[in-house]
Amino acid sequence: MCSRPNESNADNKPRRVLAILFVGVLIAALDIAIVGPALPAIQSDFRADERVLSWVYGIYILFQLLGAPVMAKLSDRKGRRLIYITCVSIFAIASLIVALAPSMFVLLTGRAIQGFCAGGILPVASAVIADTFPPERRGRALGMIGAVFGVAFLLGPLLGGILLRWGWQWLFLVNIPLAVVVVWQATKVLPTTRQFSDKPLDISGIILLSVMLGALAWSISELDITEFAAGFTSVRILPFFILVAVCAPLFYFSQRRVADPVIHPQLLTSIEIRLVCVIAFATGFAESGMVFLPAIAVVGFGVLETTASFMMLPLVLALIIGAPTAGRMSDKLGPKRVIQVGLVLTVGGQLAFSIVPLSYSSLFTACTLVGLGISSLMAPLRYVVIREVSEAQRGAGQGLLTTCLGIGRLTGAAMVGGVAASSAFLVTGYQNALMLSAGVMSIAIILSAALTAGHSSRSGPEHASGI
């Protein structure tokens, strides 16, 4: 049984709640976008080679994937406010560790802690929206949170370029005052909704899930798609795939036995949740292709990397505009139609990259379509999960969705990069890779037809067994 927010929390203005969630998610998103300008200076200070340097970004993404289901589940048990504040607070401490790091090992440790806490911020924020906003306004609120990522990609490089004048450390120190404000306000306005339970925490499930996701992420990131068979059987990858194969059934059966599992098996009894997980994987796959768009501009037009980044402005503006628009449309039309429109727009943009001869007009058109498409998927996908799960499982449901998105991003990055590298002409390689991504999204379009239309589900888990 779940408690309701107390009276003082019930009187909180939704706009204040949304503002705190927005800034918290922005901090986590900025540390993906802002790190790029810092990499050359970090490499110089620590004399790191390219492989080690890549982990400044990669370890953040990896631990973000690990943190999402764990922290989201804890928010169900311990309360949204406590876990949100904990994530933001530890994220700030980790930022200080990164800024003061005396060695590359300490810096990467700080980035790992940052990533783990960042993984919890977005799903917990989405669960808070479900607890705070009435159903007819949830889509709009989720859309505003989704727009954070467009804002982060716009502000990240600009803010990074400014702060870099005083040293790369300031790119991480800037998180601390923002986090202090978020924590201060969160103690006042965020709801305390939680599931009262005397059931023991599923430590074994958390360990198995972390090992499984970590091994899967490593395997995917190290896989060379140009030599798939050889890469799959290499000693750097095969043991981790075996570890995944061993942990997956152990995790599944452990979740069926424990009193309060990390990911309740009945979450996946809903066809809607299964469909959303697959669509989320495809969305993450498509998102990863956006990372390579500046490289396409550099190779295709011969421009500098800084110029190529500014050429992505239509994509960023589309992300900022598309997310809140999709949220409002989800409230009015239901999430199914918005998801389908988002999938079609994304495929259209990817095909514009891969079929139409590369030109400035085709690049800007494709960027706009992909940006509108991807941003149109985030809010309605989270909307469906909120609709399908009970209040007691809202955090776990959002964590599951975030995990599926993360696995899709890792897989897509490996596939897109590998397919592009396998071509004699790099632009052609990228076009082939985005064609592959369009194929994955096309499958998602077909599956989306099975989603329930409208705002309510007739067979969600919340209507059965209290799950």
| Domain spans, the chain | 12-189, 202-259, 263-467
What percentage of the chain reaches a pLDDT higher than 90? 16
- Beta-carbon contacts of 251 under 8 Å, excluding residues fewer than 6 positions away, are 205, 208, 209, 212
Lookup result for tokens 């949304």: 18
pLDDT tens column, 8-56: 444 446 788 888 888 888 888 888 777 766 777 887 888 877 667 777 8
pLDDT attached to residue 251: 85
Lowest mean pLDDT among 158-162, 282-286, 435-439: 158-162
Q: Token pair of 119, please?
A: 């993984």
Please give the model's pTM, rounded to 2 decimal places: 0.81
pLDDT attached to residue 306: 64
Q: How confident is the model at residue 87 (pLDDT cuts 50, 70, 90)?
A: very high
Residues 401-406 have a mean pLDDT of: 86
* pLDDT higher at 231 or 345: 345
Residue 2's φ and ψ, nearest 5 degrees, are: -110, 145
pLDDT tens column, 362-376: 888 988 999 899 888
- Beta-carbon contacts of 172 under 8 Å, excluding residues fewer than 6 positions away, are 31, 95, 96, 98, 99
Q: Which of these, 263, 260, 270, 197, lies nearest to 463 by C-alpha position?
A: 270
The dihedral built from the CA positions of residue 161, 167, 173 and 177, taken in this order, carries a sign that is negative
Q: Which overall architecture, per CATH, does domain 12-189 show?
A: Up-down Bundle (1.20)
pLDDT attached to residue 147: 80
- Cα 187 to Cα 328: distance, rounded to the nearest angstrom: 28
Res 171 pLDDT > 50:
yes
Q: How confident is the model at residue 312 (pLDDT cuts 50, 70, 90)?
A: confident
* pLDDT higher at 298 or 83: 83
Tell the CATH topology of 263-467. Growth Hormone; Chain: A; (1.20.1250)
pLDDT attached to residue 194: 58
